[in-house]
Amino acid sequence: MNNDKLILQISALDKNILLADGFNDAVIGITYRDDELVALYSKDKIIQILIHEQGMTFEDAVEYFDYNIEGSYVGKKTPVYYSFYFEDEESPDEWY
């Protein structure tokens, strides 16, 4: 499913759902947090977007994501971010 259709379906389920500006390609679905329907994003895809579209290094992209995106709480509809990365892996930057 293309992400534009996914975003339209998510918006149809809940018109108050919050989306992260500029990261539509990173939306992977919806989930619940504290009984609220919220958008679910791929942290890995957001970091790829920051590297490839914003020209950041891997380290800068991770720092930017951690502080400015995942670290931003904008209310009960704040999106959830999911990563397939595990702390014990040696070279996560090879994924990007």
Tokens of 67: 């502080």
Write down the pLDDT at residue 65: 96
In the DSSP assignment, the letter for residue 66 is I
Q: Which two tokens stand for residue 32?
A: 């619940």
Percent of the chain with pLDDT over 70: 85
- Predicted TM-score (pTM) of the model is 0.84
Q: What is the identity of the amino acid at 72?
A: S
Give the E-state strand segments of 1-96 in sequence order.
27-33, 36-42, 80-82
Say which residue, 61 or 86, is predicted with more confidence: 61
Amino acid present at 51: I
95 vs 60, which has greater pLDDT? 60
Q: Torsion angle, CA of 18/20/23/27, rounded to 10 degrees?
A: -40
As for how many domains the chain has, the answer is 1
User: Binning pLDDT at 50, 70 and 90, where does residue 48 land?
Assistant: very high
pLDDT tens digits, 17-45: 999 999 999 999 999 999 999 999 999 99
Between residues 46 and 91, the one the model is more confident about: 46
Cβ contact 25:50 at 8 Å: no
Q: DSSP class of residue 69?
A: I
Structural domain harbouring 25 = 3-95
